[in-house]
Amino acid sequence: MARGPYSYSRLSTFRQCPAKFNWSYVDVQDVERISSPAMERGTKIHNSLEAFIKRETEILHPDIHEHYGQFMFSIRENYECFPESRWAFDWLLRPCDYDDPVCMIRGFMDLKFVPEEDNIQVYEYKTGKQYDEHAHQRWIYGVAALLEHPEKEGVDVTTVYLDQKKNEKVYYPSHMLREYKPMLIDEIREVDECEEFIPKPQFLCRYCSFSKQNGGPCHF
């Protein structure tokens, strides 16, 4: 599996534009990565939430403290929390080490906790806009949580849109794993076996390091 281990970000990149996936992970092109104040701010906010849950600080980033401070404090004080929770699975969707050579797919959950008498809870933080692609992340992380905790009846995956002060939550029941697992493997095989990485022009090209306008190898 020369193009793995896979992750939500790799699969999302392929769905967004196969050519971008190729230049990022297969025929890797050395280009200057585009950053922005918004991206840097998002990183600072994620780091602030992680440090708060780990009790490394009592101070949250000021942009989220007023609306989410009490909520995050309540989670931290009432549950055993796993911020930046690593997960990894092989081609048979068996748990494996994150850096194991047999790893097929892996990732980090911004926050996970497992109540004794309730569903697994997974939270992903987003700054900025809401995108349809985030539903794909919720699904992948839902499958990962169910594979990690086969004793539980389901998982709630919540995308927290910090700037918009809104949440999108989806419930994934464990009995659906028999359908989820082949769907996930088929999606990865499609990427793994792809031979033509055709560009997919769209509005996101303006933010792509490989686009023509940003000095990259793409024709668009």
At the topology level, CATH places domain 8-214 in: Lambda Exonuclease; Chain A (3.90.320)
Percent of the chain with pLDDT over 70: 99
Average pLDDT over residues 70-99: 96
CA gap 2, 21 in Å, rounded: 13
- pLDDT of 147 reads 97
* Domain boundaries along the sequence of the chain: 8-214
pLDDT higher than 90, residue 18: yes
Q: Give residue-wise pLDDT tens across range 88-141.
A: 999 999 999 999 999 999 999 999 999 998 999 999 999 999 999 999 999 999
Long-range contacts: 187-190, Cβ < 8 Å, 24+?
187/11, 188/4, 188/6, 188/11, 188/104, 188/105
Say which amino acid occupies 99. D
pLDDT higher than 90, residue 33: no
pLDDT higher than 60, residue 1: no
